[in-house]
Structures are given as C-alpha cells and as structure tokens.
Amino acid sequence: MKERDPRLYIDCTSTFRSGLNTGVQRVVRALIKEVKTFSEITQLDCIPICYQFNGFYTLEDAQNITLDTLADFKAVDFNFKDVYLCPDAFWSYGMTSWFDYFRDQGVRIATVVYDLIPIVNPEFCDAAAIKEFESALLVTVKKSDILFTISKSTRRDLIEYCSSIGEDLDKERCLVIPLAPALQADKENIDSKRLPDEPFFLMVGTVEPRRGYIEAISEYQAYLAAGGNSSLLIIGKEGGSSEEVIRSISQTSNKVKWLTNASDAELMSAYQKALAVICPSKSEGYGMSVSEGLAYNGLVLANRLPVFGEFAGSSPYYFDIGRKGDLARLLGESTDLTHDTQASDMGTWSNTAKTIASEIVKISPSHGRHKAIELRKNSEEAIRWAYWLLFDRQCSAEEVENWLKFEKVQDMYDALQYESRTLGSPLGKDSIRWLQLVINERDAVDNDEVEYWLSQYKSVEELRNTLMLEHYKLDAPVSKLFMRWALTAYFGETNPPPEEFAVGLEGEGTNRDFLTKIRIKASIN
C-alpha cells in the first residue's frame, strides 16, 4: 500500500442516509461545513464519509454512487494514525460495528454522545430501541479514545451510567463541547408560503411524548379557552409512540398547524415570525430549539430543565410542564414579554469545531503526547508505535508488558530492533523520523530531509545501515551508540552504567579517542 499522510474522517452516515433534519443531523451538517477549521488545527486532510454498499465512501461519492456504478468508485482506506470522528447517531446503521476494525488498523476514535435518554428516561422509548442504544453505547465507551458530550448534564449521566455497570470511564476521556444554533438557512432567502398568516406560537422538534407535546397542547387549549387567539405551529417529524400526541392535535381546533417536512428556509422563517418559541420537552441532552429560538427570535418559553439553564441561563421564560396552568399563563402574557436581543450570541460552529479539533490533536498519533517520536520515557504508546514501524502490526498486551521493562524509548527500541525480521520493509516518513531519534537522538527532522532520504533509499534497513555506519567511523564524534558497542566488545558490558558514557563524552572527542581510553583501561585491568 502506498504511504500517505494521516487523515481525519468525519462520519455522517446516519444524516445522509436517513434524510432527517432533527437536532443531531443539523449538528452534523454544521460541522461538515467546518472542514477547513478541522484541517487547519489538526493539519490533517478532513474528509466527510458515509457508509454504504459495505464500505465507506467520501460524502461526495456517496451522493452519486449506485449499485450499478459501484465499480466506478473507490472506498476510502483507513490507516494507522488516521482519526475517525463520529458526530452522528452512532447507535444507528450499525456504525459501532466498525469500531473494532478501526482499532485493528490503528485508527483513533472520537465519538459525540448527545444524551442517554433511552437509559435515564426509558419510559419514553420502546424496549427494542433501548436495547439497541445501550448496546451501541457500551461499544462506544469501550472503544473510543475520546468522548464528547454536548452538555455537563449528559456528561454526568454518562459517567454515572458507566459507574453503575462497573465500566471504568476515565473522566479526562469524557469532555463537554459547546454547541451553537444549527439552522443553516439563508436569512435573506426564507420561505413562508406554508406558515400561518395570523400570529402564531412555534414548537420545534420530533412529535413524541418526551417532547411534552401532550401537556403543551393541553396548555394551549386552556390559553384559547381563556380568550387567546394566536395559532400554534408545530414543525417536526412524527416520532415513536406519537399516537396520543396526534390525537391531541386532531382534537384541537383548526388553530393548530403541523408541518412534518419543513425546509430549513421555512423553519428559519417560522422562528423569525413566531410570537414566541415554546420548548416544553421533559428530557434533553441539549435543546437545539431553545438555542435556535433565542438566536432567531429572542423570546423562548422553556420547561425548567437544568440543561436549558446550563447554556441559556436566564434568557428563556421558564415554566413547569407538570404544573397545570403555568404555560397557559405565559402564553396569555406573551405580548407583554420582552424579546432578549442579547440572546442572539449563542456561540458559533467555528468555535465548536476548534474545540473538537484541539482535543483530537491530543489523541492523534501524529500530535502531542501521543507522538511517540517526541517521547523519551518508554510507554505503551511508544511500544505500539515501534511494533507498527518494525512489524507492521499491533502488539499484544503481553508484548507491551514485556517491553515496559525498559525505562527509556531508545533502550526499548535498541532491543526490539534486533528481533525485527522486516527491516527490508519499505522506507516511510515515520520510519525516517524514528531512526533519527533512536540512532542520532534527534527529535525533529524537517520535510526536506525526509524527502531526501526517501529519494536515496527504499527500505528501512538501508537507511538504518547508513546511519549506523556513520557512528562507527573512527573519526566521527563519539556517540553513546558507539560507546555501547565498544564497551560490550571490550568488557562484555551489555548495559553500561551512565557514568561510563559521561566519561566518554566529557572530552567531546572522536570514536578513536574513546577506543584509546578503553584500550588503556583494558590493559590496566
């Protein structure tokens, strides 16, 4: 396989294949538009991908590929040091079934967890959905190198859930990322043909009991009974267990209108024209309708959920969905309530992408603390890196344990390389940098030098022999590598003490000078 630079893949399978436009899908679409930000920070090619026809394809190809044209498209490959980011619905389309394969290939995995509603509020989900979600969540927790949650509330739920089932979750591996209003419609090109002509309230979100629709519609009926005249617009697809909600809508006067497939332009227009945005949800991981309502309208009536207060603060007018008459009162007073003109600053997707990308840098084998060529102290990461370089495979837990007996990376690699039977493998950029570290103790090798060595040698062994030969020339500056060889040859010291090297290096002489010293020492002994 031809060597290539590492890549950052962003999975948008569920968004593309479902065709939905709910909160998760809007987040995914917003992040895809930030590929330039991801690339600038990670210095990796950032490629949106989608799984279909038993392989992953670039999003661009996935939008054009068919079963008849499958042979004309090439599936993306996953290599060691790539990073796979899943901001999509990981519990759908068997997405987590690929996680073992990614890890086998040496790919780092980063996953966004939106909420744990099927687990913490199972009353809102059917048994099959709960089982499917929990199974996928367990794989995600076990296999992901880093987990992003969209609120402190979700992070707390995730940590508590893992603790309840005896699953060890390092809290440093579970981080909160900021979100922003995800609607991407052009404000100058909005569509309002299907919206009510008269004043209306707006509710946005999948039509299901969890969203508080049943209670909210009852409150709206009380508002009408008290003399209210504004209509109610609902925008959202039909969800599970929605029969009672639909029945409540049908039993209400013609003042209620429901759009199941509104475009982004229609939704933007609805937000801007509504008297107020109602958010009666009983459970949320974040609450995109609250965020968008504040950004595009400024007057939001929200159920008193801690997660809403977490990011929206005092901007919404809060009510208790379980307290009869609480929302109806706010609806009646809506014309006297103040639109929060400061609430439009609800964050940016550029900031979200920067936050995610900065954390990806920390887990990427090409960056930060995981870049083994920058490590001096031996570690599991350095051992894995060495096995990929020398043997082109992952190492077992037993092998890791065995090589941890060496305190320093160089000592581990010196010993490991003698067991390598693949020194004839093709020379690559990483092997050049690694050889310069372990042989010449150089932490940095610029790209020009890398290209030079690639043009001169084909195999790891050829470059290794060249670099080693420089150390054994008698007129070369004395090095630890030569001293180790000489002390072993003259005295059988396979692991010379540090003071031996200090003596050899203090005069900054040549290999010949060092040989003279130890010959004298040998003759005295």
Contact 71, 55 (CB under 8 A): no
CB atoms within 10 A of CB 371: 18
How far apart CA 497 and CA 491 sit, in angstroms, is 12
Contact 294, 183 (CB under 8 A): no
Per-10-residue mean pLDDT, the chain, length 525: 81 91 90 94 94 94 92 93 96 94 93 97 93 97 96 96 91 93 72 88 95 96 96 93 87 88 90 97 95 94 96 94 97 92 76 94 69 59 74 75 82 68 63 73 74 85 80 76 70 57 59 76 63
What is the domain partition of the chain in residue ranges? Answer: 7-176, 200-344, 371-470, 473-525
Tell me what pLDDT residue 370 has. 42
User: What type of residue sits at position 445?
Assistant: V
Question: Helices 429-440 and 380-391 meet at what angle, rounded to 10?
Answer: 120
Rounded to a whole number of angstroms, the distance between the first and last alpha carbons of the chain is: 55
Alpha-carbon dihedral sign for residues 449, 454, 455, 458: positive
Long-range pairs, 268-271, Cβ under 8 A, ≥24: 268/183, 268/185, 268/186, 268/187, 268/190, 268/296, 269/190, 269/191, 269/192, 269/195, 270/192, 270/195, 270/202, 270/204, 270/233, 270/235, 271/183, 271/202, 271/204, 271/296, 271/297
Tell me what pLDDT residue 395 has. 79
* Non-local CB neighbours of 329 within 8 Å, separated by 6+ positions: 319
Tell me what pLDDT residue 1 has. 45
Tell me what pLDDT residue 525 has. 56
**Fold equal for 7-176 and 200-344:** yes
Tell me what pLDDT residue 469 has. 79
User: Helical H runs in 165-263?
Assistant: 213-225, 243-250
H helix or E strand, kind and range, residue 335: none
Instruction: Provide the strand spans (E) within 35-159.
Output: 45-52, 55-58, 83-86, 108-113, 146-149
- What's the token pair of residue 365? 């084998």
How far apart CA 494 and CA 483 sit, in angstroms, is 11
Tell me what pLDDT residue 296 has. 92
The architecture CATH gives domain 7-176: 3-Layer(aba) Sandwich (3.40)
Right CATH number for 200-344 from 3.40.50.2000, 3.40.50.300, 1.10.10.10, 1.10.3720.10? 3.40.50.2000
